Structure 1
Amino acid sequence: MNPIYSSMNRRQQGVSLPGLLTWSVIIILVAILGMRLVPVYIEFAAIKRALVTIASDSELHNAGVHEIRQAFNKRAAVDAIKSVNGNDIVIRKQDGQLVLDINYTVTKPLFANLSLLIDFDAASDR
């Protein structure tokens, strides 16, 4: 046999079936994790954006607690925010500025009895 061909055969490598299955499982698990987490973080961004918008609204600067909560509920309905509502908001004034805080937890099932527990803390001033 020609020595060039035999050395080329020894150097040629590919993905074995166990390697392919292992990488497939890893890629599928990462995809499932991403599909569960991305919507939760998109909703968090919408909540944060709503808090900042309401806190910077000059019409609501001197409004009562009820009006501020109602404004959040209206914005939540438009932005499809389901995890929290206006009653979950902590409203305070700091240095003459309206500051809105909200703390909440989201539990997302992965599969079987395994779930993700994610704690969020959003505020209009950070």
Structure 2
Amino acid sequence: MKSAQRGMTLLGFIICLAIAGVFAYIGMKLVPMYTEFFSVKAAMKDLASQPGIVDQDPGKIKDLFFRKLYISYSDDNIKPENITLTRQDGGWKMEVNYEVRKPMIANIDVVGRFNRTEMLARKSVAD
């Protein structure tokens, strides 16, 4: 009695390996973009919880923001012109809007657009 062999052929294994490699390569391009965005979100939340931030001028707020990004090694793609501070309701509305473009393969790029808004306002005693 002859048993049939089961399993993957070498060609099938190479194709699966190539597909996994393509997904890994795309992940290596996308993951740093999103980790930077999560650092931006964390820095903005930290600024919002900082006491006395409402009384600071926009230049000082931007400086504090970039210091927090520098600590987390995430200050590569965000420029001062990507940050907008407007007075609103006795506080500041901070908006960070930026775009990241990474080359993928040949003339194909991956583009990520990120936008985050945070209110920098006085905290009440109940907060």
Q: Does residue 79 in structure 1 map to residue 72 in structure 2?
A: yes
Segments ≥4 residues shifted beyond 4 Å: none
Partner of 2:84: 90
Q: Does residue 116 in structure 1 map to residue 95 in structure 2?
A: no
Superposition CA RMSD, Å: 1.7
Q: Deviations over 1:42-61 (max 9, x none)?
A: 11100111111112222211
Q: Deviations over 1:25-81 (max 9, x none)?
A: 101001111111111111110011111111222221121111111111222222222
Long gaps (5+) in structure 1:
none
Q: Does residue 29 in structure 1 map to residue 22 in structure 2?
A: yes
3-state DSSP class of the match of 1:69? helix
3-state DSSP class of the match of 2:55? coil
Q: Which amino acid aligns with 2:115?
A: D
Mean CA deviation greater in 69-78 or 102-111: 69-78
Long gaps (5+) in structure 2:
120-127
CA distance in 2, matches of 1:86, 1:79: 17
TM-score, normalisation: structure 2:
0.81
Larger Rg, first or second structure (1 or 2) = 1
Aligned length: 118
TM-score, normalisation: structure 1:
0.82
Please give the residue correspondences for 1:1-126 in structure 2 after superposition, counting only pairs within 5 Å.
5-6=1-2, 9-10=3-4, 12-80=5-73, 81-124=75-118
The answer as to whether partners of 1:89 and 1:100 remain within 8 angstroms in 2 is: yes
The answer as to whether partners of 1:69 and 1:87 remain within 8 angstroms in 2 is: no
Higher percent of residues as helix: 1
CA distance in 2, matches of 1:52, 1:93: 17
Q: Which amino acid aligns with 1:89?
A: I
